[in-house]
Amino acid sequence: MKTPHIPVFSPFSLWTTVRSVGPFNVACLFATLWAFVKVSRALRWRLKTTQLRGPPRISFMYGVAHKLVASQDTGGMYEHWATEYGVAYMVPGILGQAVVVLCDPRAIAHFYARETWTYVQTPFTLGLLEALIDRGLLSSHGEDHRRQRKALMPGFSNVAIRKLTSVFYDSAYKAKGAWDTAIESSKDANVVIEVQNCLDTIGIAGFSHDFGSLDGKRASVTEVFDTFGTNQRASTVNQFFILCALAFPIVTKIPTKRTNLFKQLNVTMGEISNELLIRSRREKDASMSERDEEKSIIGLLIKSEGQDAELHMSKEEVVAQMKVLLWALIELSRHPDVQSSLREELLVFGADPTYDQLKANLPYLDAVVHEVLRLHPPVVEILRLAAADDVIPLSELVRTKSGEMTDSISIAKGTFITIPVAAINRSLAIWGPDAKEFKPDRWLTQDGINGKAKEVQGHRHLLTFVDGPRMCLGKEFAITEFKAVLSVLVKNFVFEMRDGPDTPIEVASGLLPRPRVVGEDGIGVPLRVRRYE
């Protein structure tokens, strides 16, 4: 009986086949297969996705992405389109694609409940995260994300944050001491201070690392972030980079001056994290007291360190925290009446409040903090990719391209979905006619949050910390630190805009959008600061 002959392909035999057919014909074959796959996916997407109305395409290459990236108010653009086309609509995306935008509370709740499983990070986002912070919690999905999040949770529990509250105050009083010195050395009772230096607060509490900016040192971490927003040309280049990377995610891996800055940031923060990790382990091995050991998130995570634990905060979270505090000082400088009311509450209360008192005993401080978080979310929109087919319910009817009315939309695998966080947080339709105003009192009255806003599922009806499986782990950490630092600064100082309360503020493009005074060099927000007496 003959044994059947099974041909074995080798690289040599493959090359022989290519030569016999011809390289051109082989290239044409692959191009045809690629085109067939693309056309098949496009047809499937069109058949399985509800075709919604939306703004017209202004560029085949970029859709309306260039307009959004260049805008000073992307939230306002999304809100305008929602008013015109309904609570769910499509905007033209990169290379002829379309992006579904959800502005409906019920649809957003459905989306967040399925995030990390049905809705995942886009190739562009994954590439950027890998360039900035390597692989970890922010870039993981599904079961892997659940496992890593569980490993990190002890460092962000209420017990852990309660132990860190004294560290928040220590860093706030260091800022106070530096500003007292600056005022004493000035010729009059006030001085202009560049408040971006609040980065020290985050460094000391989050990492047990002093970035040195309060002492006049230039932190390498700060330099990298500032490079992306120091001038108009840099901002324009940043916009071009984002647009190219959206179209071709491999751009994030090409060695350029920009990607080298990403690597520099990653290396710098990695060195800080490793230094702290080694120091924390050394303290643990030396049986340091619990009081001495637990002075940073990393120190707290050491206690539950395991094989799967990831022991560092993301760089975006560090800078995002600084940005929110900066916006708080800007808003209080613009609204001296709010600043005075907040100071009065804090002075009547007396001593520095404990963690539990910060949560429950200072209602106006809580109102100011959440109003800043509502108006100035660090991340203005969330972009995800559908990993499976889905049907998203809506709380109100929308009109499709064909003119039909529907209360749900079908989403095909491969569809891009955007949640415009800033637009939802400031929406007139959701928050009422005063949605654009800085109005902390809305958080103090029974009817301050209207019916539509109450439908938004998220922390205090805000999407600032998103929702669902990816809700920000550091939410309580951020809010507690925000309150502690703000309480110390407002009790001791009076803040004013250097050029008056109507000083225009713009948003500088960078790794994260950051506020700056219009016409100011770099990302400066100089405030006039004087002691409260």
Q: How far apart are CA 298 and CA 272, in angstroms?
A: 11
What are the residues whose beta carbons fall under 8 Å from the beta carbon of 10, sequence distance 6 or more?
A: none
Residue 65 has pLDDT above 90, yes or no: no
82-128 residue pLDDT tens? 999 999 999 998 878 899 999 999 999 999 989 878 898 887 666 66
Residue range 383-395: mean pLDDT, rounded? 93
Reference 355, options 482, 258, 237, 465; nearest CA is 482
Residue 201 has pLDDT above 70, yes or no: no
* C-alpha radius of gyration, the chain, whole number: 26
- In this structure, are residues 415 and 52 in contact, taking their beta carbons and an 8 Å threshold? no
Q: Which residue has the higher pLDDT, 492 or 199?
A: 492
Is-above-0.85 flag for pTM? Answer: no
Position 515 confidence tier, pLDDT thresholds 50, 70, 90: confident
pLDDT of residue 121: 83
Phi/psi at 413 (nearest 5 deg)? -55, 135
Q: How far apart are CA 286 and CA 306, in angstroms?
A: 19
Residue 345 has pLDDT above 70, yes or no: yes
Alpha carbon of residue 114 to chain centroid: 19
66-75 residue pLDDT tens? 788 778 889 9
Q: Which residue has the higher pLDDT, 280 or 67?
A: 67
The terminus-to-terminus CA distance of the chain in angstroms comes to 105
Q: How far apart are CA 6 and CA 128, in angstroms?
A: 46
- In this structure, are residues 208 and 299 in contact, taking their beta carbons and an 8 Å threshold? yes
Helix-then-strand count for the chain, H and E: 22, 12
Contacts 24+ apart (CB under 8 A), 236-241: 238/509, 238/510, 239/66, 239/69, 239/70, 239/509
Position 408 confidence tier, pLDDT thresholds 50, 70, 90: very high
Which of 67-76, 266-275, 286-295 shows the highest mean pLDDT?
Answer: 67-76
Alpha carbon of residue 512 to chain centroid: 7
What are the residues whose beta carbons fall under 8 Å from the beta carbon of 251, sequence distance 6 or more?
A: 127, 241, 244, 245
* Average pLDDT of every residue of the chain: 77
Alpha-carbon distances of 96 from 120, 169, 275, 371, rounded to whole Å: 21, 52, 47, 38
Please state the three-class secondary structure of 272-330 as a single string: HHHHHHHHHHHHHHCCCCHHHHCCCHHHHHHCCCCCCCCCCCCHHHHHHHHHHHHHHHH
Window from 286-290, 329-333, 403-407, 479-483 with minimum mean pLDDT: 286-290
pLDDT of residue 413: 92
Q: How far apart are CA 385 and CA 175, in angstroms?
A: 42
What does DSSP say about strands 405-411 and 505-508: parallel, antiparallel, or unpaired?
unpaired
Q: How far apart are CA 443 and CA 437, in angstroms?
A: 13
Residue 255 has pLDDT above 60, yes or no: yes
pLDDT of residue 495: 94
